Structure 1
């Protein structure tokens, strides 16, 4: 994969970590709450092995119209996010065609297996228990 700056990133870097993959958008009605809660989770659990990977996508309602630089600036300036922002994905990109809307979430265990999928309307904080369980801190 490539990050928002165009650097190649091997997903093997995240081996042994619990990963929350999220398709994100800057102009969605769920943007503020999701980024705020994702930041809370990341700050709370990053030192215990949680990674949040944000994949901007414009396939739903054109709610992520910016380029990678604009997206990263928005996320880092407005929300002070520290988790990785990846290259903007196009329609039928990494998520395939069965994603309902922005902020679909996929929880991946330390072995790289997707163990749960959450709807866009699912609050990131509501899955904290699942994250803690995979981290071994519950």
Structure 2
């Protein structure tokens, strides 16, 4: 892995150049590749609930829109932001649309996909709404597969454990 994945350059949905360190400061990050036209899209509500519940305790949720899975995120960055803010009242940061797999994968995801999930499987992001919990120091504390809802104990326990040691 690179020295610190939190320093890899990113672009926010509004075009601002940044990094996870600049977005989250000393907070842990829950990075989630998202899509607006997916059966898992209602997870946006759970992600906002995590931001509301854990934000003051040191967590920043970050959405990473991706159109690689059956074209389920076809909109422009502005359309995505409008949808997420209007439909789910999301207040957490969104990145500019990016790729998570393959030769065009964003450098951040090239690093993240080297990390195994709880079953010991690394490799490509499986689908929309795969979650990576990143500590303030840049370590990946958990990789959580897409069908695991944000409010499930696997997610909240990992967040609680990460925040307790941060």
Interval of TM-score (by shorter of Structure 1 and Structure 2): over 0.9
Alpha-carbon distance in 1 for matches of 2:139, 2:25: 10
Q: What is the Cα deviation at residue 15 of structure 1?
A: 4.4
Mapping for residues 9-20 of structure 1, pairs under 5 Å: 9-13=18-22, 14-20=24-30
The answer to whether residue 13 in structure 2 is matched with residue 4 in structure 1 is: yes
Q: Bigger CA drift: 128-137 or 60-69?
A: 128-137
- Give aligned pairs, total: 136
Instruction: Give TM-score, length-normalised by structure 2.
Output: 0.77
Where in structure 1 are there 5+ consecutive unaligned residues? Answer: none
Give the corresponding residue for 2:161.
133
Specify the SS of the correspondent of 2:151.
Answer: helix
Instruction: Give TM-score, length-normalised by structure 1.
Output: 0.92
Q: Bigger CA drift: 15-24 or 84-93?
A: 84-93
Mapping for residues 9-48 of structure 1, pairs under 5 Å: 9-13=18-22, 14-32=24-42, 34-48=43-57
Q: Is the 8 A contact 1:15 1:112 kept in 2?
A: no
Determine which structure has greater relative contact order: mean sequence separation of CA pairs < 8 Å that are 6+ residues apart, divided by chain length: 1
Residue of 89, 93, 105 corresponding to 1:93:
105
Cα deviation digits, residues 102-132 of structure 1 (max 9, x gap): 0010011121111210110011111112101
Q: CA RMSD in A?
A: 1.5
Give the corresponding residue for 1:105.
131
Mapping for residues 60-71 of structure 1, pairs under 5 Å: 60-71=69-80
Cα deviation digits, residues 51-79 of structure 1 (max 9, x gap): 01100000001000001000000000110
Alpha-carbon distance in 2 for matches of 1:41, 1:11: 18
Runs of 4+ deviating beyond 4 Å: none
The answer to whether residue 139 in structure 2 is matched with residue 121 in structure 1 is: no
Q: Is the 8 A contact 1:23 1:54 kept in 2?
A: yes
Alpha-carbon distance in 2 for matches of 1:11, 1:116: 16
